Chain A
Amino acid sequence: MKKIIETQVLIIGGGATGTGIARDLSLRGLNVILIEKQDLNAGASGGNHGLLHSGARYVCSDHEAAVECNNELNIIKRTAGHCVEETGGFFVAVCGDDEKYIADFPGMCRAAGIPFKSVDVTDARQMERSLSEKIIAVYEVNDASINPFKLSIENMNDAVSMGGQYFSYCMLQAVEMENKKVCYAKIQNRISNEIFYIKADTYVNASGAWAGRIAELAGIPINMVFSKGSLLVTSKRITKRVINRLRKAADGDILVPGGAVSILGTTSVRVDSPDNIFPTVDEVDRIITEGEKMIPLLKTCRYVRAYSGVRPLVSKGNNDDREVSRGFTLIDHEKDGVDNLVTITGGKLSTYRLMAEKTSDIICKKHGIISKCQTKHIVLPSTKSGEWSEPGLHITESVTRESRHDPILCECEIVPATAIDTIIRSIKNNKGKPDLTSIALRSRVGKGPCQGSFCSTRILSHMYNTGELTHAAGINDLRKFLNERWKGEQSLLWDQAIVQSSLKEMIHCGLFGLELETQ
């Protein structure tokens, strides 16, 4: 007996676009289910700067993208203000940068209608004290930083509140075609290994870098190219504003502040597969070498973590991945002979809403619904479960918490037990299984300098005490969590970070013997 769940729209992929579409369609009155083979923002939506572009970065390479960014920036600031920090941004050129690019920049901005302001170099160094002495030109723009985790959590929560459903760790295994249409989606729950089917009227492939694979299941070839970008997280916020290098896009030229940290990136490395990507030592060194030209402090400061994301690009035969348009690709597969499948991929976080809007328009057309996009106007509601993912912004709240019986479980980022409980509840509400990794995704747990050395054991104890964990499951969970953290640490261990990681190994391997086979 097949277990079949019926819905109007099935969205595959829980990134910013997927959750954005889920909300957009829900607002238009459609019934949606979103499946994600891991958890929210597991792909590029979680592996980026968290930068809302003013568009100025694209003025010279992609006029259209620049204009889009500028429009979207204003809409997102208005409708999802609680996910955005209006930092403002600088474009700085340092001694030796391309003079022509610097000279062209103002004109191009003006052409794209992007507001900017020239800033005196001395003033700029007053405003951002860590800027290098060698900077030669500074322009101020409207860049902002956004918390992509909060954004996706809130989008999904809003969709769920309107009747949508979210299945995490559910992977699309196959599709059954019938009559030029996708009829069923065969889905495997990766935790319980249960197989079930979802029958929807239309299917949206919003799986980002994995879009090619999903399309392939329906027999449609999409030629995807994967460009890996790696980013570094500092232990302390370095600048007030977003700092961009005023030059043709290259490695290590954007520093984005996000709450209590700064994120430095990025690189562009062609990879064969979007799976199992991690930052390498070479990338880390390259990013720092470039970054320190703008901000010398980046050479000496402590980094807590590095991570990578894959830019999903639809190949058009170019060589340099940054030259490939960062605009998005929206394909209605009617032309390929599948009437009810739409693929949306490419693009960037800054334009996620626009991508969702355009996709939803096509879906509505297929459903014969005439309905206007509302995400432009309706403000995204703020919910409790999203707020713990804010880097550093909730701190005042947790330090001044009223309850005296609420121990802090994550000391680095000051996350109290009640927050963990809230997150566990919300994971369970979404039919997920709470474990260290999924808690860490929804909170700042494990993101501080100790990278989970201490908080992991405290949260584990807490979960055992509250009955969330039984048997030896927690030990495996701990291994998985520490290993996941490790992937982000191993490339940037030197100076102080290596002291911390040595301590981590002393505790978890030396004392607890977690590296040994299950005893």
Chain B
Amino acid sequence: MKDKQTISCDLLIIGAGFAGMVAAARASSLGLKTVQVGNSSTLFLVSGLFDLLGVYPITSGQSLHSPATGLERLRIDNSRHPYSKTGYIKILESLNFLKFFLAAAGLDYQSNNNENYLVLTAAGTFKPSFMVPKTFIKGCGIKQGSKRLLLIDFNGLREFSAKQIANVIQDAGSDVSVLTIEIPAVSSTLNPIQLANLFEDIQFLKFLSKKISPFSKKTDLVGFPAVCGLNKSLETIGKLEEMTGLDCFEIPGMPPSLPGLRLKNAFEKQLSQNNVIFLNNSKIESHEFKNHQFILNAATQNMNTQITTKGVILASGRFPGCGLHAKRELITETVFNLPVFQPETRNKWYHLNFFNPEGHAINQAGLETDDAFRPVAQNNAPAFKTLYAVGSILAHNDWVRLKSGSGVSCVTAYSAVNDFYNSVSGRDTNV
């Protein structure tokens, strides 16, 4: 027998990925009584970098220097893209809101005067990103600059090779040396979170700086895999810089990602302070709408929760978040069974070339919305007055290829919550 409980609230947020978290952050900041259901573990899989628009047009095959210019073209080319329903200023506003929200939890982000950073990745490539954690900042100028670089890796951290990065970026003319830190207690495999735990220990930092000190004359900048501490990463990097006398930065790599975990922890900490009720691992099993209210059933393995709410933000993501489900024949939306924009047949879902510069057609699939991000039903009118869809579930949005995932999630979540707040309270958040 499952336990039962009932909750009523102003706003229910379905999904605990990046978009869901931003929506919960905004809603709770506005003083709405907020309930969130979902699985926040998907944040382990995000890079922790906030992209706005890194590539445009999609076929350009180039990093975009200034997102603002790309955005202008995007608005002209594709009026159905979520960005076309909002503006650059709005996007910056939402990112700033997020920046301050996270800063309150001790996680600092920084942007670069409206230009994209080029962030060095574990593969040795450079990724354009708009706003990055402060621990990444010092590595962002490598491509242009002529600094001498020292890259650190650890035995047992299988997915990260300093030699690989050094080899790949050496072709671009950088002066790179590498150092592998042998951690005595590790046999074959070191998991990123285990390693991050070691960074919490001051003795380990001393051990590290001792290993690095022979390089201090021939290097200016030290790059670590992004595992420098669980939560106080900036502090840890600061300590390392103090001990070695060198600038340090982190390099993002394969999941599970520590920057993603830090994001998860920061959100969860702030949201629980803001009294957001989080039903972890719950799934919405049924829903009905009557008397201007949604009544939904959220279920876990041993608990059924009946939630009565005025509005719902659907931030359940695309396939990995289970917001969309691809059957052999078609793609469906899993909670409200809303109509999904998608290619006509499965034949057209994918190109034969994985790296096809146009991107795969299925990545355009998703929910179509009105200008307030309310998903529309067959008749092109909003399906429900107070149901919003935000984040990657939105159609016409190949966020992977355009490097625009965080930006889209952030601005749509922010705008949708604002719109709901305005409609419920009669006030205007813009004022």
Direct contact of A and B (CB under 8 A): yes
Binding site for B on A (CB under 8 A): 278, 280-282, 285, 288, 403-409, 454, 457-458, 460-462, 464-465, 469-472, 474-475, 478-479, 482-483, 485-487, 490-491, 493-495, 498-499, 502-503, 505-507, 509-517, 519
Are A471 and B171 in contact, CB atoms less than 8 angstroms apart? Answer: yes
Residue pairs across A and B with Cβ atoms less than 8 A apart, 26 shown, are A408-B188, A457-B122, A457-B254, A461-B159, A465-B164, A472-B167, A475-B168, A478-B123, A483-B354, A485-B354, A486-B354, A487-B352, A493-B349, A494-B328, A498-B326, A502-B319, A505-B360, A506-B400, A507-B254, A509-B355, A511-B47, A512-B127, A513-B403, A514-B123, A516-B55, A516-B125
Total residues of chain B contacting the partner, CB 8 A: 61
Q: How far is the CA of A495 from the CA of B255 in the complex (A)?
A: 21
Compute how far the CA of A31 lies from the CA of B244 in the bound complex, rounded to whole angstroms: 63
In the complex, chain A residues whose CB is within 8 Å of the CB of B161: 460-462, 464-465
Q: Which of B159, B328, B399, B400 contacts A454 (CB 8 A)?
A: B159
1/0 per residue B322-349: CB within 8 Å of A?
Answer: 0001111000000000000000011101
Q: Is B292 an interface residue (CB 8 A)?
A: no
In the bound complex, residues from chain A placing their C-beta under 8 Å from that of B128 are 513
B143 CB to nearest A CB, Å: 8
Our pick among A472, A485, A495 for the contact of B124 (Cβ within 8 Å) is A472
Verify B188–A498 contact, CB threshold 8 A.
no
Chain B residues whose C-beta falls within 8 Å of the C-beta of A513 in the assembled complex: 63, 121, 125-128, 403
Q: Does B405 contact A (CB under 8 A)?
A: yes
The distance from the CB of B67 to the nearest CB of chain A, in whole angstroms, is 16
B273 interface residue (CB < 8 Å to A): no
Q: Are B346 and A464 in contact (CB under 8 A)?
A: no
* CB closest chain-A residue, reference B363: A505
CB contact under 8 A between A510 and B158, given known A464-B167, A490-B352, A516-B61: no
Chain B proximity of A282: nearest CB distance (Å): 7
Asked if A474 and B167 sit within 8 Å, CB to CB, the answer is yes
Collect the chain B residues with CB atoms within 8 Å of residue A464's CB: 161, 163-164, 167
Say whether B62 faces chain A, with CB atoms less than 8 Å apart. yes
Q: How far is the CA of A511 from the CA of B163 in the complex (A)?
A: 19
Residue in A280, A407, A458 with the greatest tally of chain B CB atoms within 10 Å: A407
Q: Which of B63, B123, B328 contacts A475 (CB 8 A)?
A: B123
CA distance A282 to B349 in the complex (A): 13
Known: A502-B320, A509-B355, A517-B62. 13 other contacts (CB 8 A): A403-B188, A457-B254, A461-B161, A462-B158, A464-B161, A464-B167, A474-B167, A503-B45, A510-B399, A511-B123, A513-B63, A513-B121, A515-B355
Contact of B159 among A457, A474, A503 (CB under 8 A): A457
Q: How far is the CB of B171 from chain A (nearest CB, A)?
A: 5
CB distance from B182 to the nearest CB of A (A): 11
Chain B residues whose CB sits within 8 angstroms of the CB of A502 once the complex forms: 318-320
Which of B123, B170, B171, B325 is within 8 Å of A512, CB to CB? B123
Residue of A nearest to B143 (CB): A519
What's the Cα separation between A103 and B353 when bound, in Å?
47
B113: CB under 8 A from chain A?
Answer: no
Beta-carbon contacts under 8 Å, B155-193 to A: 156, 158-161, 163-164, 167-168, 170-172, 180, 187-189
Bound Cα distance from A282 to B345, whole angstroms:
10
Q: Chain B interface (Cβ within 8 Å of chain A)?
A: 45, 47, 55, 61-63, 121-128, 143, 156, 158-161, 163-164, 167-168, 170-172, 180, 187-189, 252-255, 318-320, 325-328, 345-347, 349-357, 360, 363, 399-401, 403, 405
Which of chain A's residues have a CB closer than 8 A to the CB of B164? 460-461, 464-465, 469, 474
Chain A residues with Cβ under 8 A from B328's Cβ? 285, 288, 494-495
Cβ of A150 to closest chain B Cβ, rounded Å: 27
**A48–B352 CA distance with the chains assembled, in angstroms:** 21
Taking a contact as CB atoms under 8 Å apart, the answer to whether B163 and A519 are in contact is no
Listed residue (A461, A483, A490, A491) with the most chain B CB atoms within 10 angstroms of its CB? A461
Whole-angstrom distance from the CB of B64 to the nearest CB of chain A? Answer: 11
> Are A495's CB and B189's CB within 8 A?
no
Q: In the complex the two chains form, is B346's CB within 8 Å of A461's CB?
A: no
In the bound complex, do residue B121 and residue A512 qualify as a contact, i.e. CB atoms below 8 Å apart?
A: yes
From A457, A485, A519, contact of B63 by CB (8 A): A519
B318 near A512 with CB under 8 A, answer no
With A409-B158, A474-B168 in contact, is A511–B127 under 8 Å at CB?
yes
Q: How far is the CA of A404 from the CA of B252 in the complex (A)?
A: 28
**Residue of A with least CB distance to B254:** A457
Contact residue among B63, B122, B158, B400 (Cβ-Cβ distance under 8 Å from A509): B400
Q: Check B168 against A471 for contact (C-beta < 8 Å).
A: yes
- Distance (Å) between the CB of A297 and the closest chain B CB? 15
Residues of chain A with a CB closer than 8 A to B325's CB = 495
Report if A472-B171 is in contact (Cβ < 8 Å); known contacts: A278-B352, A502-B320.
yes
Q: How far is the CA of A403 from the CA of B354 in the complex (A)?
A: 37
Q: Complex: how many Å from CA A516 to CA B399?
A: 14
Judging by beta carbons under 8 Å apart, are B125 and A282 in contact?
no
List of B residues within 8 angstroms of A281 by Cβ: 345-347, 349
Contact B188 A406 (CB under 8 A): yes
Q: Give the distance in Å from the alpha carbon of A271 to the alpha carbon of B403 in the complex.
A: 39
CB atoms of A495 and B327 under 8 A apart: yes
CB-based nearest B residue for A483: B354
Chain B residues in 8 Å Cβ range of A499: 319-320
Which of A404, A458, A469, A483 is in CB contact (< 8 Å) with B167? A469
* Contact yes or no, A458 B159, CB < 8 A: yes
Task: Report how far A38 CA is from B430 CA in the complex, Å.
Answer: 64
